Amino acid sequence: MTERVQVGTIGGAYGVKGEIRLKSFCAIPEDIADYSPLTTEDGSRSFDVTISRQITNGLAARLSGVDTKEQADALRGLALFALRSQLPETDEDEYYYTDLIGLDVFDTGGNPLGKVKAVQNHGATDLLEIFGPGLKTTVLLPFTKEAVPTVDIASGRVIVDPPEGLLE
């Protein structure tokens, strides 16, 4: 597990007075400010975050040290991280995306299928993006109890029972 967990991304300036467009990865988007100060991945920069309001596809926010549109635009695409110790404990069968990425994937027969490359969500449910040597391309598997009956973070693996034909 990593010490820092990505909780958001800066989308660039919002307006002309130094506000940013912020995409939050938190279950309740506004909670991102509760984990302030947020840092860059390497921890070299730190920002206090104040949410101004909800906007289309995100939040308008102010970051400490960012006072102009040009400064805000210069941060476009910057990932923001919180310390794991700042985040709430997960419930059983709840995981942070970052903890799933890189896990080895096995089918229910114990055959290796690949690794979790990413976790995506396009609105309906979380999807595990799996890639491995026997696959021609990545496969998106619904992250449900039926399709992914076992997640073992400590052992670094997930057991999957994909729908028939998905991995062919």
Q: What is the pLDDT of residue 106?
A: 94
pLDDT grade for 114, boundaries at 50, 70 and 90: very high
pLDDT for position 168: 66
Q: Residue 65 has which token pair?
A: 């040290």
Q: CA triplet 93, 28, 100: central angle to 5 degrees?
A: 35
Domains of the chain with bracketed CATH: 4-86 (2.40.30.60), 97-160 (2.30.30.240)
55-112 residue pLDDT tens:
998 999 999 999 999 999 999 999 999 998 999 888 888 888 889 999 999 999 999 9
Name which of 165, 159, 166, 163 is nearest 105 in CA terms.
159
148 exposure class (CB count in 10 Å sphere: 0-12, 13-18, 19+): buried
CA–CA distances in Å: residue 24 to residues 34, 47, 109, 124: 12, 15, 38, 18
